[in-house]
Amino acid sequence: MKTNRVVVIGSTNMDMVVKTKHIPVPGETVLGGAFFMNPGGKGANQAVSIARLGGDVIFISKVGNDVFGRQSIQTFEEEGININGVFADKNDPSGVALITVDELGENSIVVASGANLNLTPEDVENYLKKISDVSVILIQLEIPMDTVKYAAQYAASHGIKVILNPAPANSLISELFPLIDIITPNSNEAERLTGIVVKDIVTAKKAAKSIYNQGVKNVVITLGAKGAVLMNDEGFRQIPSNKVEAVDTTAAGDVFNGALSLAIAEGKDLLSAVHFANQAASIAVTRMGAQSSIPYRKELVLDAITKSK
């Protein structure tokens, strides 16, 4: 039995990226620099992260019956991802993300979801019935809420750990909190979920406590260069990140979530898993692109995920 099997249920997009000096404000036109296309989507990025870090990953997603969809499926196959749960939609095109990246590596993203919004609970149910020995189900919010809800309920009822990356933030997920083993908002998403402006460790602690008190077993708020904070029944802890010079933060959160899910699937304790995820994300931000930035296992310091005694 494989102990590091993770099911990722989520989105697939084609990212269209432009580098520019600064992100335009409403009504402003700026001249950008390099343009490139890169496979993306939160679900796809997280699945690729798990595969590159040595995990056994099954991806459930929906793409268009178009060139972007076929290119994405080819990429997944090349990464060693199980794609039997990736469906081609007959009606809508593949999802597309328009991304602007400034000189500090910060980004602004607009997504046209396309076929991602047609991934139904029935799609997920029919495929999950065919597989076994799953340790973790990882979900995000670029697919329909009914599908997210079904996935969380399925995981909870089958004794599978469920990790929710609440991105983009959606206040409707609060009803799912008792089903969630680990939730991983960034500072903006934590603010959306709690109404607390997260600007430092003190406010991050308040936000984490607010989410924890709503029924989530473990709350991990990612803070970019400041690392992450953790709140659970053992209390509150801050986990620092590696200091690096960021070039592009586009997929940092996805890499973090993929790495975290794999470490949990491998039986690591949560604190060690967050250290591991911080390492992976800190490497990703030093590179351009989404999936092109994702590191391989050999690039990480493996001692960081040694299970604590």
- 212-265 pLDDT tens trace: 999 999 999 999 889 999 999 999 999 988 888 877 777 899 999 999 999 999
pLDDT at 3: 63
More confident residue, 291 or 56: 56
Across the range 193-211, mean pLDDT stands at: 96
Compute the distance between CA of residue 165 and CA of residue 184 in angstroms, rounded to an integer. Answer: 5
Across the range 9-13, mean pLDDT stands at: 96
In this prediction, what percent of the chain has a pLDDT beyond 90? 75
| 305 pLDDT above the threshold of 50 | no
Q: What is the CATH number of the domain that holds 287?
A: 3.40.1190.20
Across the range 129-143, mean pLDDT stands at: 93
| 293 pLDDT above the threshold of 90 | no
Q: By residue range, what is the domain housing residue 126?
A: 5-25+32-305
Q: Considering the chain, what is the average pLDDT of its residues?
A: 91
**Residues involved in catalysis:** 254
Overall domain count for the chain: 1
The pTM of this model reads 0.90
pLDDT at 7: 97
